[in-house]
Amino acid sequence: MFGAVRERVVQKKFAAVPLASAATFLVLLFSVVQHLPGGDRFVTEIGVVRASLPLEVSLVRTPLSLFVPALDLPVWGALAQVFLVFGVAEIVLGRRLTLVIAYACTLAGTLFARIAVSVGPDHLFGFPGWVAHVRDTGPSAAVVALALCIAFRCRAWFTGGTVLFLMVGEAVILPNLAGLEHVVALLAAALIAATVEVFGGYWPRVLAGVGAAATIAAAASRAPDARRRASAGA
């Protein structure tokens, strides 16, 4: 992984990771705003997700909820995670795929919370009703998902296995909503990584083939006209 990002970071510095820089700034901004007078209510209304909320409200808030840090964790940890992992992902995976993975895996965790509460505590992966009112925000699900996808792309199997082992171990030893959401995010990330690996180059090849075919057809259609003009000139 170090070799994959070193040259670009040395050449461009922060310009190499505009997405990671913007994401880190948003985490810092929300952290500051939610500690201002009236700021917590503002942040809650635009970016805080709970399983008790209507589904459409949760879907609207999920993109911003990724950047709202948890109140009970130090914000510097979230800033470091986001800048490091999003930065490496932006270089290794590309900006668009980084966003897709971050939001898709965060959404997977958010939807899991609703399902876990609905099935109830009698189910192996269920939770009691009061969990529906727990604030479900933060970049951690996106961070672990991106870390796994980066490891998969770079074939850094030890790093990917370590992330997987730690997150599953956390969910087993300290079962809580955040821990299980991390596992769900990892499962979603593994599915995305495998899909991109298998089909990632399919549509570019198809489009390239269509473009080549169109070029050949256009050249073939111009050939008779060129021959007629040459005959007329002779």
Tokens 């979230």, residue located:
78
* pLDDT score, position 85: 92
**Range from 144-153, 201-210, 213-222 carrying the lowest mean pLDDT:** 201-210
- Nearest-angstrom CA–CA distance, 67 and 197: 28
Q: Which residue has the higher pLDDT, 123 or 221?
A: 123
Q: How far is CA 181 from CA 114, 145, 148, in A?
A: 11, 11, 15
User: Does the structure show a pLDDT above 60 at 45?
Assistant: yes
* 205: exposed, middle or buried (Cβ count in 10 Å: 0-12, 13-18, 19+): exposed
End-to-end CA, the chain = 65
pLDDT in tens, 213-226: 667 666 656 655 55
Predicted TM-score (pTM) of this structure: 0.81
The average confidence (pLDDT) of the chain is 83
* pLDDT score, position 224: 55
pLDDT in tens, 46-55: 999 998 999 9
* pLDDT score, position 203: 47
* pLDDT score, position 213: 62
pLDDT tier at 22, thresholds 50, 70, 90: very high
pLDDT in tens, 60-88: 999 999 999 887 778 888 899 999 999 89
Handedness of CA 172, 173, 176, 180 (dihedral sign): negative
